Amino acid sequence: MEVDPAIGQTRFHWLRSAPEAPGASNLVGLTERVAFLRKLEVDAKLQANATAIPAPN
């Protein structure tokens, strides 16, 4: 993966480092991540399988 100059990190790292605390600025960050994932146009069957993957601890 390559570093995206717009965010200064890889997109994978950016997705994994989503903010956890509630707040207006954090909500913006989460919606940006959702928008990025939607642009990937992942097949609906694969999306359904992704929810079965346990989150890392």
pLDDT at position 30 is 87
Average pLDDT, the chain: 84
Q: How many CB atoms lie within 10 A of CB 13?
A: 13
**pLDDT score of 4 more than 80:** yes
Q: Where are the domains of the chain?
A: 11-50
Asked if 21 and 11 count as a contact pair (C-beta separation under 8 A), the reply is: no
pLDDT at position 55 is 63
In percent, the amount of the chain with pLDDT more than 90 equals 23
Mean pLDDT on 10-24: 86
Query: Which of residues 50 and 23 earns the better pLDDT score?
Result: 23
